[in-house]
A = this chain, B = another copy of it.
Amino acid sequence: MTELTNSEKSLYLRVYSHYREMIDSGLLKTGARLPSVRQCAKQLQISRTTVESAYMQLAADGYVISKPQSGYYVTERPARREGEGRQETAGRKREEIVYDFSAKSVDRDSFDFNIWRRYIKSALRQDERLLSYGEPQGEWELRQALADYVAAARNVICRPEQIVIGAGTQCLLQVLCPMLSCEKVVSFPTHSMVQGITIFRDFGYEIHYKDKDAAVIYVSPSRMNRMGDVMPVSRRLELLHHAASMGSLIIEDDYESEFQDPGQPIPSLFGLSGGRGVVYLGTCSRLLLPSIRLSYMVLPLELLSVYEEHGKFYNQTASKAEQIALCQFIRDGHMEARIRKIRRLYRAKTRELFLALEREWNRKEEKGETKRIEAHNLCITIRIEQQKSKEELTKEALALGIRFDAITEDKSGNRYLVLSSLSISPEIIPEAAKAVSRLLNM
């Protein structure tokens, strides 16, 4: 329940490092038993909790194994690290990514683990609630908190009864698809929305692209493309109007809307439609931690009775403890605080990356050349002048420790490297820019 204080923390780290070194150096051999928690605590004159924390960390890292009622023993393969010794099915070893320009994770400093840990701990104290299966639709309190949140943040006005919680967008689509009785044709904006396309294909849908007459229209208006362009209100209204006249259902995947500039708050399609004809999808994985699987879907009123019939046959997929924690996290205002923080950070990092890249190219480019680097809403693009394929570039990037977000092409056939600053730590931006310049000038 209580966190270790700073001085305890450093003690815990010292105990941890001490044994880790003993094991790494071979002084403690496979099968050797660590001194008991009590002995160690007495010897070093520190608390048993501190020693136990250190031992558990050693166990979590694979250095030792705990045998109940016996003690901690050095494992066969000391210094085992995540993924080490792993036979990947494809047979290749993973390259280490130093400069991560994908939008697939968030940088360490941006997330306050202590706050989240506090909420999870508090949730884990609710023994009674955790002993039973959750509600198929998701915890009522969380749905209530989310209803308040999406109303304020995205003008999605709904009742908790309209909200369905699930472990990711795909889980929600797997509940939604069997509920629809329309013609099995869905339109996606791009080929890159593999997640959604997979599920609709599984359910026998014909996949079209940019087909405004399809029975189901899947869009992400807050992030229309890799560059993070936002769909303007006029086009939103047009889309709603056309869909209503055709009787189509719109699925609004609003991911990363929270990262957009609050200076231009564009209402959601769900909000503009008055809650009819639009299914709204939101996710917390992006906002909090990608490893937290928690998304939600807001059903339009006309689908409610179908869901009441149908929804009870699907077990809830999201962790109940994480649902309880998230509910309190939102109620206490941390969600909004986090959005403000991440928005500020993301923009600052994108700007810094842009300037760092410009410095690199100013050094290298001949005068009079056209601009290669451009800053967009949520990313930076750099024009690629080599004839290399995407595969070649990905491979060369990996060799330099770089993972980029995507390669995109404009109408004139120019190709661009897309870099997101979401994952990268601010302090390595200058060297990251150097690495990118090396990659593109090879």
Contacts and interface: CB of A to CB of B under 8 A. Distances in A.
Contacts of A195: 313, 315
Given A2-B2, A121-B121, A194-B313, A291 B133 contact: yes
A298 B169 CA distance: 24
Interface stretch (A21-29, A273-281, A331-339, A434-442): A331-339
Contacts of A106: 131
A205 interface: no
A348 interface: no
Interface string A77-93: 00000110011011000
A60 B125 contact: yes
A202 interface: yes
A120 B122 CA distance: 12
A203 B200 CA distance: 11
A331 B108 contact: no
Interface stretch (A65-73, A208-216, A358-366, A411-419): A65-73
A49 B121 CA distance: 13
Interface stretch (A51-59, A218-226, A372-380): A51-59
Interface string A41-63: 00000010100010011011000
A128 interface: yes
Contacts of A290: 131-133
A356 to B, nearest CB: 22
30 contacts: A1-B3, A2-B47, A2-B49, A56-B122, A59-B122, A66-B332, A68-B333, A68-B334, A83-B140, A89-B304, A105-B131, A108-B131, A111-B131, A113-B124, A117-B124, A120-B321, A121-B121, A130-B291, A132-B290, A133-B285, A167-B171, A170-B317, A174-B174, A177-B202, A178-B201, A195-B313, A291-B319, A291-B320, A292-B319, A293-B318
